[in-house]
Chains A and B, each alone.
Chain A
Amino acid sequence: MPTQNSARTFRRAAAPATAALAAFALLAACSGPAKHGADSPAANYQLSEGTPPAKGTIDKFSWALYAEPLTLDWIQAFDYPQNTVLSNVCESLMRWTPQLTLAPGLAEKAANPDPNTWVYDLRPGVKFHNGEPLTADDVVFSFGRQTNPELAAAWADSFENVAAVTATGPLQVTVKLKQPDALFPQLMATAAGVVASRKGVEAAGKDYGVDGSLDCTGPYKLTHWAKGQSLELDRFDDYWGTKAKAKTVEFKFLTDPAARTNAMLSGEVDGSFLVPTDSYERLRTSGVGSLYFGEGLSTVNVNVTSIKGALGDVRVRRALSMALDRGGFVKAALGGNGTVTNSITPKAAWAAAGPETRAAAFDALPPAAQDIEQAKKLIEEAGAKGKTVTVATSPIGQDVTLLATALQTAGSKIGLKVELKTIAPDAFSALFTDPAAREGIDAFPETFYLSVTDPVDLLRNFKTGAYQNHASYSNPEYDALVEQITSTYDPAQRLALEAKLQQKAAEEVVWMPVAEWPSTVFLNKKITGAPTTIAYMYYPWAADVGAAG
């Protein structure tokens, strides 16, 4: 037992030691990250084609989502959280593979007897989660929901050229088009092509997607949704394809990026897509699991949601875009794991294009480099000095918060007043689907992922009246070009026309491109098998996840 004197001596000795420890901790906290060029991010990441295949089955794994889905009704599935879940529960006529190619889904065969007709032969023996068999009538009903104006489907655009959907056999559906539509067959691999049980949907009524089963055909069925906390999917034992390797998948809603990272590190969740960018290094070096990067077909953009205010003048949009510090954004927000871009469409989407087409698509785009002086001149010319631009932001991740901050800084450097409006993570999805949520907002950061491997999937958003044409752009020339592209089935010809469309979109600064961002997935040592590419939005990825060892 120490005497009083020795305790005092210990305290005297401990004081400098504590001070030294505190100073060391402070020094450690002071040292910033290693400097590296924002334009040389290749050193930071490497794209993987996939993760190692699962070695066996597993009872359960849990997965982090950055927000709770507003609904799981497939016609409203327009954001990451919904589609990450829904892709495992509801299937489409076609399937987007992890290699980002098109494959048969619920339709075992798709035929195009003439440019205005698509005939889909359904797989026999497919059952819905409610036990009902899949029929052509269910396809007609499901597509009918997408085109019902009362339901305001997010995917209604995909059916704009559809004249009629008819059941031409118990297991055959014929889609008659008003004009040739090259995008339609591709979109049948997305939520646009989902088929659900007519009986199930009608029985659920207004509760469909919010409460109860989804009655689709996927390898998992929705069994439990604890609102505000988590939802659970159970393996569907009557699934027509390869059975899922995990019996149960639990999705946990973790809106705080730090909480999400800590959940991955502590094992509270076994994995996640869309890993918070500021956690890449911690997760990489944690030894808890592996962080993979894959083709994301994604670009980070500033979505111009209103052209009624200051952003109505193309010179103001051009100036703000010109003043953005894209290199700094890639370094700070993406941790160097991305590339600066001057194109709103990702380069990988142009893979099938020839060198001439690629040159036409990219060479004449405005440079991505920051040019404050030129931007100031444009603002002066437009007489926009001192005007206010309201930008929505949300604490869902650094990509959103730092792009909003970068916009604010860009604005203040060129004489615009950029005000930020913070939106809760769960409400951020509503910006894409609800015009009321966009009231009073001029722009917001948006990471856009292509839902098909075709640049027009993004570029068509700026056609007059398009669902994602939030700002209501209208340019007859642009519309005519979209029409021409849509009706061109030949990929090479279509891409050549898309290059022209990309130029027009850039001239109008319909969106401000910022960076290309790879898809990310973290898997702890317990599980493996998830795809690394953005295919997880529509591909039943969870069925491939199983035991790592």
Chain B
Amino acid sequence: MTMTLVRRPGLAKVRTKRAPLYVASLVFAGVVVLLALLAPWIQPYDPNIADLGNALAPPSGDHLFGVDAAGRDTFSRLVAGARTSLLGPLGVVVFSTVLGAAVGVAAGWRGGWLDSVLSRGSELTLAFPGLLLAILIVSVYGEGLLAPVVALSVAYFPYVSRLTRSLVLAERARPYVAAYQVQGHSGLQICVRHVVPNIAPVVLAQSTVNFGYALIDLAGLSFLGLGVPALTPDWGRMVFDGKSAIQSGYPLSAIIPCLAIVLTVVAFNVVGERWADKVAGRTR
């Protein structure tokens, strides 16, 4: 997971003046979000209805992406799965951003012992691998989306809090803060009305990048059978379910959700990095 907002030389090579990769990624991410929102109207079949007699059928007019090993329409599951697959990372990003920003702002603005306590606390959480933490929490609370989302939010918040703290520290040293203080504004007022809005774009840009990572972590958990319950259409779960199709020698129902995960993660990362570059004033 990214620690700071940096440009990656590998992706810079494919950037051009008009940034087609950014545009393509933005469009792709938009399409995925739309699919998730309109899933019930778009999916041609009930994603959970199994026609076992038609298991592993190849793509056809009836089944655009074929049928999985349980006889379920892969396209319908992909569309329905977009909901769970995006909702989970969204939860992680919202929780971790709110928590991380609150901790980061408090630590950076207040400084002193509070900074030490909060920063060391965050670092302690960082020492524990996020995925392991999620596996532990899911093992205790059972399957479902909430437990892994909470676990990953806890694992992700230190990254946001460290970024926020460093931004707040930089902002605090700026002359306008001293000017407000001289005018008699309270610390809370300056922080909430001026500092937070100033750092928000950078934090949000980072959150967009985090979205991609959360998506891949949650898909990984689903693949391990630790995420959403069986039958729930979810991209990670689809890859898990696709294992038997791979064993049978017809891996399409596993390849398609894999592609969806990879492309969506790349799309969110490219968009997030671009926004981060923009707010940081970096030129390309």
Contacts and interface: CB of A to CB of B under 8 A. Distances in A.
Interface of A: 26, 29-33, 38, 257-258, 261, 276, 278-279, 281-282, 325, 327-329, 331-333, 335, 393, 395, 398, 401-402, 404-406, 408-409, 412-413, 420-422
**Chain A at the B interface: mostly helix, strand, loop or mixed?**
helix
B183 interface: no
B56 A32 contact: yes
Contacts of B50: 325, 328, 402, 405-406, 408-409
Contact of B56 (A33, A258, A406): A33
Interface in B34-54: 46, 48-54
Interface stretch (B64-72, B103-111, B119-127, B204-212): B64-72
A395 B225 contact: yes
Contacts of A31: 58, 250
Nearest to A407: B50
Contacts of A329: 52
A30 B246 CA distance: 11
Contacts, number: 110
Interface in B132-178: 143
B192 to A, nearest CB: 45
Contacts of B247: 257-258, 261, 276, 278-279, 282
Contacts of B19: none
Contacts of A278: 69, 244-245, 247-248
B10 to A, nearest CB: 17
Contacts of A26: 252, 255
**What are the 7 closest A-B residue pairs judged by CB atoms, nearest first?**
A328-B52, A332-B55, A328-B53, A278-B247, A278-B244, A32-B58, A332-B52
A263 B244 CA distance: 15
A25 to B, nearest CB: 9
A331 B46 CA distance: 21
A402 B52 contact: yes
Interface residues of B, number: 35
A23 B53 CA distance: 27
B274 interface: no
Contacts of A33: 56, 248-250
- Residue of A331, A405, A406, A420 with highest tally of chain B CB at under 10 A: A405
20 contacts: A30-B250, A30-B252, A32-B67, A257-B243, A278-B69, A278-B248, A281-B249, A282-B249, A325-B52, A331-B52, A332-B70, A398-B69, A401-B244, A402-B52, A404-B230, A408-B48, A409-B51, A412-B46, A412-B48, A422-B143
Interface string B219-245: 000000100011100000000000111
Given A332-B71, A420-B231, A422-B230, A29 B251 contact: yes
B63 to A, nearest CB: 10
A257 B50 CA distance: 21
A281 B56 CA distance: 14
Contacts of A422: 143, 225, 229-230
Contacts of A331: 52-53, 55
B248 A335 contact: yes
B53 A325 contact: yes
A327 B51 CA distance: 10
B57 interface: yes
Contacts of B230: 393, 401, 404, 420, 422
Contacts of A281: 248-249
Contacts of B20: none
Contacts of B51: 325, 328, 409
Contact of A412 (B49, B59, B66): B49
Given A32-B66, A331-B55, A422-B229, 9 more contacts: A281-B248, A327-B52, A328-B50, A332-B70, A333-B52, A405-B52, A405-B72, A409-B48, A409-B49
